[in-house]
Each structure stands twice: as C-alpha cells, then as structure tokens.
C-alpha cells in the first residue's frame, strides 16, 4: 500500500472519529514518505482530536519545516498552543496564517480573538496588586430580588444575627432545580449567588487532601470527568443513587468546560454539597481554572446564562476546591496523577497551601496533580499534552508503597471502556463523560468502593440531550 493510500485511509479514520487509528495510518504514511508536510499536518489534527497538543505542535512544526507556506500547519500549531494556554506562541502563527491568506476572514477573526486573550493576560498581570476582600464577601444578596413571576421553589429563610440573608437548601429545592435544568430553565441569580458563596465557605473549611472513611454499610462512589454533560450526570444518579448518609460521592474534577451544561452541573453539585456537606466531595481538575475556562467554554457559558460576576464567583470557588481525597486510607484520588520527583508523601499534600496560588501555573505540585498522565513504560517522560509529565508503573508503585496505599484513582483522560486498570493494578483511570463531546463513542464509568475497600466498576452509555452542541460557548479559536 502506498503512502498516499495510507494517508487517505487516515483521513477516513479521522473523519469517522477513530483518532488513534488515524494516527497509526498517518505514521505508516510518514515512514514511507517522510518528506510530505501534509502527512505530518494531518497527524497533528488527529493528535489535536486526542488532546495530545504537545505532539500536535511537534508534527505541525515538522510540516512547516518541510513547507514554510503550508497554512494548515501554522493553523494547527496555533490551535494546539491555544489549547495549552500558550497564547503568545499561538498569536505568532495566527499572524502567519493571515499573512499567507489575507482574504481569509475566519483567520482574521481568530487572530483578533487570540490578540484579545494576550491583551487580557497582560492587563491582569499589570493590575495585579495585593488583594482586598474576596468577591464572595462583597456580594449583597438583598439587592438581587426575586421576580414575582419566578416559578421555582424558594429557599429564603430570613436573616441571621448579622442581618445577612439565610438560605437553606432543601430536597424540594434540589428536585425543582433538576427539573428546571432538564427543561432548559435557569436558576434565579439570587440563588446562584447564594449557592456558590455557600459552597466557597464549605470548600475553604476542607483540607487540601480530604480524608473520608468508608464505614461498614456505606459506599463511596468516585466519578471522573463529567465536562458539562448534565444529562449523563443525571444518569449516574439514576443508576447509582443520589448522595446520602450511606452513599458518598467524590467527583474527581473537570465537571465544567466543553459540554454545554457546565453551569447546570456546577450549580447542582454545589447545591448538593450545601444540602449535606458530608455526602458529596469535589476535587479540582485542570479545567477548574481561569485560563481553561476562557478557552473551553465555561466562562462564555456563565456570562451567557448569568453574568460576569457569576463567573468570577465560580473562579473563586474553583481556587478553594481540595486537590485530592484519601478514601478509606487506601486510595489516593487526584484528577491528573503523580509527580515529577520521587519522595512526595501524603503529608506533603496535607501541608500544601492551595490558597497561596489561585491558578496552578506551569510547574509545581498543584500543576502536576491536575495535569500529569500515566505511561506504560517505567520512568517519566514529557507529556504528549505539552503540559506536565507522564509517569510509569514504577513511579506509581513507589508512591503507593511509601504511603501505604492500595492504589491511585485518577481521571483526566478518555478511556473507551469508561475506565482502565493500569500499572499492575495500582492505578485506575475513570472517565464519566460518555460519548465525550458527542464524538468519541466511549462509555462512561464510575467506581463504587465498599467497607472492604474493594472496587466495583460500573459502565454506562451516553444519554439523549437537547440539540446544543459541545463547545457551544467556547472561544472561537477552538471552533
């Protein structure tokens, strides 16, 4: 089979959503003809679809080396740099795209959007000063009045001793909230503020690593990324039961972005936290961050459905989220994975001050907990994402041995079967957004852990949802 035949088969695999197959086919084409810029650029597109932005940048750069006028290669490198929040690098390539295609209005729009992101980052840096009171402490709920025609359940309970409004979330309110969201209605802004402000207070009271036992007669469920797929979240609760005194939940980050019901998921999870704080716990993921929200949709969605102040409140809440959970003293639950150096202990994580740094940045313990991925080979290597590292079975084994753990539970990556047991059984990846972005065809999964600390894996299918596409509110650079 010729290189061109392999490329054509790769194109078909890419269009049908079989991204790993596309990568393999393009790789075979490159082996036969390593001088084709098209093959590298096409493989870059398959890597982009797999969120392997680091290697997409490498392939795009190779394509540019072979053909310095190849517009698609510059564009794909720009998109990849945008995806990992390297906007200045992306800006250089978007300018080149416009230079090569001066009549392309879509390219000009993307250049304009990228310039806005660069200016926004520069402005934020320029005005960075010692902070005053947090926004959650400044919100005056009394000025946000309930309209007479609001048809939802109300939770106003009068005032406390400091003349502040009191809100007590009830099961009736939760039931009404779910029905409102299923029917495309919004929650009143007064209640959105109250829920997020209340959740912030609870998160700030929790340690960086929350330790939850699994008493006899109880179950703890660990869910992976839900990414704004609200109707699939409801399916988990339908199949597995709602949070209760005998059934705790840990949501392992990335509950926002990409899917177009991120607001609904965040509000529901926060409301459940207020209903019974010890029944549900949330970890921070790499998408509970300002830079990712600006690109992948949560910021745009919240501003569209509510307002900018609501997004800033959510941003404050994300900075307060714990970074890890320890279930039954046996399972370390973290969104991304393990560390770039040996010897990190649970005591190091317990002692880590997550409030000293609101955003994870490009290095350090928080970034690694949110961004790293496993690899099948021993040792460590650069991440295919272009951020963080990859770690091998020996790293997981050493971490578990040093800290007396049965295993590490993480999320952060699609698994076609919903979950995957890796690293000689010491590492499990669980992903809870089936048919991710309406395109991947994967199952969703969640893990139930009982008092005996054995894991039970549960797989489920994607559910129908209203005709709103994923990434509907994302920055147009990622369109």
Is the model's pTM score more than 0.85?
yes
Q: Give yes or no: 18 in active site.
A: no
Same domain, 112 and 204: no
- In order, the DSSP letters of 73-100 are HHHHHHHHHHHTT-HHHHHHHHHHHHHH
pLDDT for 40 equals 97
Do residue 172 and residue 82 come from a single domain?
A: no
Domain CATH for 82: 1.25.40.10
Query: Has residue 390 been placed in a domain?
Result: yes
Q: Examine the fold and report which residue of 107, 126, 145 is the final residue of a domain before the chain moves on.
A: 126
CATH number of the domain within which 383 lies: 3.60.21.10
Give the residue numbers spanning the domain of 448. 156-478
Query: Quick check: is 103 in a domain?
Result: yes
**Are 76 and 197 part of one and the same domain?**
no
Q: What pLDDT, on the 0 to 100 scale, is given for residue 127? A: 61
The residue among 135, 228, 146, 227 whose CA lies nearest residue 187 is 146
Query: 166 with 305, same domain?
Result: yes
Q: Which of 18, 47, 287, 335 is catalytic?
A: 287
| Interatomic CA distance for residues 188 and 180, integer angstroms | 11
Beta strands in 238-388 (DSSP E): 247-252, 280-283, 324-327, 331-334, 373-374, 380-382
What does the alpha-carbon distance between residue 414 and residue 327 come to, in Å, rounded to a whole number? Answer: 23
Q: Do 458 and 238 contact (CB within 8 A), yes or no?
A: no
How confident is the prediction along the chain (479 residues), in pLDDT tens digits per residue?
A: 899 999 999 999 999 889 999 999 999 999 999 999 999 999 999 999 999 999 999 999 999 999 999 999 999 999 999 999 899 999 999 999 999 999 999 889 999 989 988 888 777 766 655 567 899 999 999 889 998 889 999 998 888 888 888 899 999 999 999 999 999 999 999 999 999 999 999 999 999 999 999 999 999 999 999 999 999 999 999 999 999 999 999 999 999 999 999 999 999 999 999 999 999 999 999 999 999 999 999 999 999 999 999 999 999 999 999 999 999 999 999 999 999 999 999 999 999 999 988 889 888 999 999 999 999 999 999 999 999 999 999 999 999 999 999 999 999 999 999 999 999 999 999 999 999 999 999 999 999 999 999 999 999 999 999 999 999 999 877 75
Dmax (CA) of the chain: 79
Asked whether residue 163 is domain-assigned, the answer is yes
Q: DSSP for 101-149?
A: -TT-HHHHHHHHHHHHHHHHHHHHHHT-----S-HHHH--GGGSPPPTT
Sign (positive or negative) of CA dihedral 53, 430, 441, 240 = negative
Total tally of structural domains belonging to the chain: 2
On whether both 80 and 180 belong to a single domain, the answer is no
Asked if 381 and 395 touch (Cβ cutoff 8 Å), the reply is no
In a domain, 135, yes or no: no
């Amino acid at each position: 089979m010729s290189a061109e035949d392999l490329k054509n088969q790769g194109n078909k695999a890419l269009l049908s959503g079989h991204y790993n197959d596309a990568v393999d086919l393009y790789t075979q084409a490159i082996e036969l003809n390593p001088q084709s810029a098209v093959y590298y650029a096409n493989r870059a597109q398959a890597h982009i679809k797999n969120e392997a932005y680091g290697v997409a940048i490498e392939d795009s750069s190779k394509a540019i080396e072979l053909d310095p006028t190849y517009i698609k290669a510059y564009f794909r490198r720009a998109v990849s740099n945008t995806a990992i929040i390297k906007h200045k690098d992306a800006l250089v390539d978007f300018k080149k795209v416009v230079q090569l295609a001066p009549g392309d209005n879509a390219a000009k729009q993307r250049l304009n959007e990228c310039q806005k992101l660069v200016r926004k980052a520069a402005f934020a840096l320029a005005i960075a000063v010692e902070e005053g009171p947090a926004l959650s402490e400044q919100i005056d709920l009394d000025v946000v009045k309930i309209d007479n025609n609001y048809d939802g359940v109300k939770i106003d309970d009068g005032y406390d001793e400091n003349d502040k409004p009191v809100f007590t979330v009830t099961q009736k309110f939760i039931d009404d909230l779910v029905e409102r969201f299923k029917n495309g209605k919004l929650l009143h802004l007064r209640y959105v503020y109250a829920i997020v402000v209340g959740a912030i207070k609870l998160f700030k009271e929790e340690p960086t690593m929350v330790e939850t036992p699994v008493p006899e007669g109880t179950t703890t469920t660990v869910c992976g990324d839900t990414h704004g797929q609200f109707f699939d979240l409801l399916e988990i609760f339908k199949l597995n039961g709602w949070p209760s005194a005998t059934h705790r939940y840990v949501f392992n980050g990335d509950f926002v972005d990409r899917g177009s019901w991120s607001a609904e998921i965040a509000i529901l999870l926060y409301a459940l936290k207020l209903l019974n704080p010890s029944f549900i716990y949330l970890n921070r993921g790499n998408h509970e961050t300002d830079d990712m929200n600006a690109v992948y949709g949560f910021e745009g969605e919240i501003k569209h459905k509510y307002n900018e102040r609501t997004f800033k409140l959510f941003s404050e809440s994300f900075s307060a989220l714990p970074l890890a959970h320890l279930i039954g003293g046996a399972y370390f639950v973290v969104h991304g994975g393990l560390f770039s150096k040996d010897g990190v202990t649970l005591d190091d994580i317990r002692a880590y001050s997550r409030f000293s740094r609101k955003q994870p940045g490009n290095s350090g313990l928080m970034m690694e907990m949110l961004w790293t991925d496993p690899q099948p080979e021993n040792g460590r290597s650069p991440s295919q994402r272009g951020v963080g590292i990859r770690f091998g079975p020996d790293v997981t084994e050493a971490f578990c041995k040093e800290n007396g753990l049965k295993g590490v539970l993480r999320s952060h990556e699609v698994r076609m079967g919903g979950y995957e047991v890796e690293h000689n059984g010491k590492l499990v990846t669980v992903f809870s957004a089936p048919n991710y972005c309406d395109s991947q065809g994967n199952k969703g999964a969640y893990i139930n852990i009982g008092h005996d600390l054995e894991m039970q894996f549960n797989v489920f299918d994607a559910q129908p949802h209203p005709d709103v596409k994923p990434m509907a509110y994302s920055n147009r650079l990622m369109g």
